[in-house]
Amino acid sequence: MRPRDIGNVSVAPVLEAEGPLLEAAMVFPDWNTDAVKDDPWPLAPQFYDAERNLLVIAIQSFLLKTRRHTILIDACIGNDKERNNPAFSRLSLPWLETLARAGARPEDIDIVLCTHMHVDHVGWNTRLENGRWVPTFPNARYLFAKREWEHWERVQRENGLTRTGDYIGDSVLPVMEAGKADLVATDHEIEPGIWLDHMPGHTPGQVAVHVKSGRDEAIFTGDMMHHPVQCARPDWSTNFCTDKAQAAETRRKFLDRYADANVLVVPSHFPGATSGHVVRGKGRGYGFRFD
């Protein structure tokens, strides 16, 4: 995604990584290339490495600047974190330098908004300093949906997030303990023209960030969709969804509501141009027209 304006709001991507990163069947339990052979655009090489059966995904944040605030949407994986997935563990990536090129230093950020509390959306909330995890953005308020925090606080307490590694312990709790977090409703208004939309299913309290400025409108959808194939097959939820049926219902309603609408859709993980518009496709499916 290139930097752009949504009315009076400037938007820039802050890319941490992009490429063939995840095995298709590991992400989608229903994965079957024959199921989309009549609408093959989601399997184009820029989205899918057929030889290795890997999905091409982006891991990124989005920097929004308004007249009132500098806002960071999501915080990627982060550096130095111990994770059970080798691709996510003990990274040393120049994300802070990428943020600077996008137009902000950590101290410039007023608000950090995590669409949900998964490992690849909270990592840069903290950084390692003298052996301790401290908030990366010293002047920011971190906004978490209250419903989302209550779910993951319970999960972390009960099982320690053994599948992924305890990212709540190193990337969320230090922010809470520093008194920098605000627990908000899933329809919270950040400022006039920027508010949250509840997108349940992938996680209980996942939210999208809805921006409306002048005649322009955009929705940063978090992980409501992970990959363009979910436009063609909205019934395909991921193995990472806490409620696959609800995730599919949320996705179908979203796609139906915004198909052929003049609303920019910005999924977290779509590679390349990332943003675009939902269009009606064949049968019950949809398409995605990239900018």
The parts of the chain modelled with pLDDT lower than 70 are 284
Residue environment code for 172-188, b if the CB has 16+ CB neighbours within 10 A, otherwise e: bbbbbeeebbebbebeb
The bridge status of strand 181-184 relative to strand 141-145 is parallel
Please state the domain count of the chain.
1
pLDDT digits (tens, 9 = 90+) for 29-65: 999 988 877 777 888 999 999 999 999 999 999 999 9
Domain membership of residue 86 as a residue range: 4-290
pLDDT given at position 35: 81
Residue environment code for 11-49, b if the CB has 16+ CB neighbours within 10 A, otherwise e: bbbbbbbeebbbebeebbeebeeeebeebeebbeeebbb
Q: Is the pTM of this model over 0.75?
A: yes
Q: How many residues does the chain have?
A: 291
pLDDT given at position 192: 98
Residue 40, domain CATH: 3.60.15.10
11, 2, 27: which is closest to 228 by C-alpha?
A: 27
C-alpha distances (whole Å) from 262 to each of 36, 91, 154, 239, 267 are 26, 38, 40, 31, 16
